[in-house]
Chain A
Amino acid sequence: MNSTIHTENLSKRFGHTDAVDGVNLAVPEGAIYALVGPNGAGKTTLIKMLMNIIRPTAGSAQVLGIDSRRLTGKAFNRIGYVSENQELPEGMTVGGMLDYFRAFYPTWDRALESQLVHQFDLPLARRLKHLSRGMKMKAAFASSLAYHPSLIVLDEPFSGLDPLVRDELIEGLIELAPETTIFLSSHDLAEIESFSSHVGYLEDGRLLFSEEMSVLSDRFREVTVTLAIPAPLPLELPASWLQPQTEDCVLRFVHSDYNEEASAREVAERFPSARNIAYDPMSLRSIFLAIAKSNRNHSASTQEQGSAKEVVA
């Protein structure tokens, strides 16, 4: 399958900080790709590089087959971009803005525009500067969907919006852009879980993984082992077992490389006295929390080891 977005070692450095560090990413055509990660992970910087708003320090990106550094002018006929921080022509009315943008796009669909205006309940005569944040986002969505873009890039589009507006925007996005590739960044794991086909996790500028949502859901399980007698946490556990913790006779961990047969055998071998072993599917939110926490624990323990070595030295 062709990639709508493809990056190779894409990096951005601000002073001594690596905002984005060697990201290799492939977004298949027609995918709804959700880029998630904590605050300051580099999501906005990555998106700004893809949109040629800022230039990468190293590496390259192809967007719709065009080098991102050459993404200007007519190339944006096929791209819709909406960001939480984006400014709109505040002095214009909603109708004036749509009229103005219409002339820029040869593929502008007036019927779709009317449908979007109706669906989002946009007040055409009101100036953008007098609209609420939610309404502004709706106006931005309408002006970015009405020309059937091949790619829609959304940077934290639902942040700070009330659930009703969020649902309306998601509905509009899925219904009205079925043939479009959507690339969005978000903190809102619960929302993106319902409609994303692919997911990538960015932390400290590094892409920790990027895969299909179904594969990710299949790969992660919350494992609960009920032992016959209380036992301490074993010292050596596989690296794919995240956040192990024990309480009396119950041991819990997150299996990040779950395979029905192999995992069952592996757990049974390690805990022969187990009375019961349960494998529960996890929500996207639980998966990301587990990854984020285990990464933090890992980096903290690495730092502690480093400090200990320094003290010994």
Chain B
Amino acid sequence: MKQILHIFKKDVRLFCGEIVIVLSLVAACASIYYYLLAIDPQFRSSSFEAGGKLARMIPLLIFFITFAWILLVCRVIQAERLAGDTQFWITRPYEWKKLLTAKLLFIVTFIYLPSIAALFILKIESGLLLHTNLTRGLLGGIGDFLYGITSFVLVAAALATVTSSIARMMGGILLAFISMTAVMLIPYRMRPDTVAGPLSVGLCFVLFYLLCGAAILLQYARRKTRISIALLIAIPVLICAIHLFTPERRPPDRIQPSPSTVNKPT
């Protein structure tokens, strides 16, 4: 525990600037939502129009928050870089489990907790919790939020463990974006009459979480960068294969008419 807190404190000192930026962005976004709630507690689309310029800043702020989170994850993980063999820490008495826990603690403290706190305050302010069962309302919202945030934190963390710099990690994110777009397009192009069902979608998410987690664990435990990269590359390939080989037939009313059918004169 002592080593975990020691590494955590060092990271907080080293990245205090980045932490302040992330917290400020989250606070700004939450404040705007808070203001919009004050205009319209029911939080309808008209409240966004009434919010004017401030409301229009929300998508921009969310983009900046996401970008700042990715950078923070990358910076904190690469402070004890895992790819390569010239790092100072690999010949020091670090224990990999404690190092990993310290990094998790940092991510939870400065990414998850402030966002969950903001979400919680906004939920209370909107009166949402008053209308529903308190536990169900709270857990439901936080569960959805965690589900969303963990997906890209996991990708960012996995890419940060297999790359040696922020520039390379950004390249990795670009590749991940391209490959995920391809994963969505290829099965649709090849089998337009099918749609991904809940089984294949569920399987894809399990695969995604498992392989990202395995790559991170492998890097921390053994620093096997090539194998970890192979695991990450396998994610889009396997997801594509799942969509292709376990398709569920699209219901007849949802089959898109082909352009030739649409244009044909009756």
Contact of A89 with B93 in the complex, beta carbons under 8 Å: no
Contact A53:B93 (CB < 8 A) given known A86-B86, A104-B3: no
Give the distance to chain A from B227, nearest Cβ to Cβ, in Å: 13
> What is the chain A residue whose CB lies nearest that of B223?
A53
- Residue from B87, B92, B95, B96 within 8 A of A87 (CB atoms): B87
B91 sits at the interface (CB 8 A): yes
- Residue from A79, A89, A103 within 8 A of B88 (CB atoms): A89
B94 sits at the interface (CB 8 A): yes
Instruction: List B contacts of A48 (CB < 8 A).
Output: 85
Residues 64-102 of chain A: 1 if any B CB is under 8 Å from the residue's CB, otherwise 0? 000000001111110101010111110110001000110
Residues 73-96 of chain B: 1 if any A CB is under 8 Å from the residue's CB, otherwise 0? 000000101000111101111111
B14 sits at the interface (CB 8 A): yes
Give the distance to chain B from A163, nearest Cβ to Cβ, in Å: 26
Whole-angstrom CA separation of A278 from B77 in the bound complex: 64
Instruction: List A contacts of B86 (CB < 8 A).
Output: 83, 85-87
A51 sits at the interface (CB 8 A): yes
Contact of A51 with B95 in the complex, beta carbons under 8 Å: no
Contact of B87 with A103 in the complex, beta carbons under 8 Å: no
Contact of A103 with B6 in the complex, beta carbons under 8 Å: yes
Contact of B85 with A87 in the complex, beta carbons under 8 Å: no
Give the distance to chain A from B128, nearest Cβ to Cβ, in Å: 42
Instruction: List A contacts of B94 (CB < 8 A).
Output: 73, 76, 104
Contact of A92 with B93 in the complex, beta carbons under 8 Å: no
Residues 43-59 of chain A: 1 if any B CB is under 8 Å from the residue's CB, otherwise 0? 00000100101100000
Whole-angstrom CA separation of A53 from B93 in the bound complex: 13
> What is the chain B residue whose CB lies nearest that of A77?
B93
> What is the chain A residue whose CB lies nearest that of B221?
A72
Instruction: List B contacts of A91 (CB < 8 A).
Output: 14, 79
A195 sits at the interface (CB 8 A): no
> What is the chain B residue whose CB lies nearest that of A73?
B95
Whole-angstrom CA separation of A302 from B13 in the bound complex: 61
Whole-angstrom CA separation of A88 from B96 in the bound complex: 18
Contact of A100 with B87 in the complex, beta carbons under 8 Å: no
Contact of A92 with B14 in the complex, beta carbons under 8 Å: yes
Report the interface size class on chain B.
Answer: 10 to 19
B2 sits at the interface (CB 8 A): yes
Whole-angstrom CA separation of A51 from B87 in the bound complex: 12
The 10 closest A-B pairs by CB, nearest first: A81-B91, A73-B95, A76-B93, A53-B85, A104-B93, A85-B86, A103-B6, A77-B93, A87-B86, A88-B88
Instruction: List B contacts of A74 (CB < 8 A).
Output: 93, 95
Whole-angstrom CA separation of A53 from B88 in the bound complex: 11
B191 sits at the interface (CB 8 A): no
Instruction: List B contacts of A53 (CB < 8 A).
Output: 85, 90-91
> What is the chain B residue whose CB lies nearest that of A83?
B86
> What is the chain B residue whose CB lies nearest that of A79?
B91
Contact of A76 with B2 in the complex, beta carbons under 8 Å: no
> What is the chain A residue whose CB lies nearest that of B99?
A73
B10 sits at the interface (CB 8 A): yes
Most chain A CB within 10 A, of B10, B87, B88, B95, is at B88
Whole-angstrom CA separation of A48 from B87 in the bound complex: 12
Residues of B83-128 whose CB lies within 8 A of A: 85-88, 90-96
With A76-B94, A79-B91 already in contact, 19 other A-B pairs whose C-beta atoms are closer than 8 Å: A53-B90, A53-B91, A73-B96, A75-B93, A76-B93, A77-B93, A81-B91, A83-B86, A86-B91, A89-B14, A89-B79, A89-B88, A92-B14, A96-B13, A100-B10, A101-B92, A103-B2, A104-B92, A104-B94
Contact A76:B88 (CB < 8 A) given known A92-B14, A100-B10, A103-B2: no
Give the distance to chain A from B157, nearest Cβ to Cβ, in Å: 20
Whole-angstrom CA separation of A280 from B85 in the bound complex: 44
Contact of A76 with B95 in the complex, beta carbons under 8 Å: no
Contact of A87 with B93 in the complex, beta carbons under 8 Å: no
> What is the chain A residue whose CB lies nearest that of B84?
A87
A279 sits at the interface (CB 8 A): no
Contact sample, A vs B, 8 pairs, CB 8 Å cutoff: A73-B95, A74-B95, A75-B93, A83-B86, A85-B86, A89-B14, A92-B14, A103-B6
Most chain B CB within 10 A, of A54, A72, A77, is at A72
Contact of A54 with B91 in the complex, beta carbons under 8 Å: no
Whole-angstrom CA separation of A92 from B88 in the bound complex: 13
Whole-angstrom CA separation of A73 from B90 in the bound complex: 9
Give the distance to chain A from B86, nearest Cβ to Cβ, in Å: 5
Instruction: List B contacts of A51 (CB < 8 A).
Output: 91
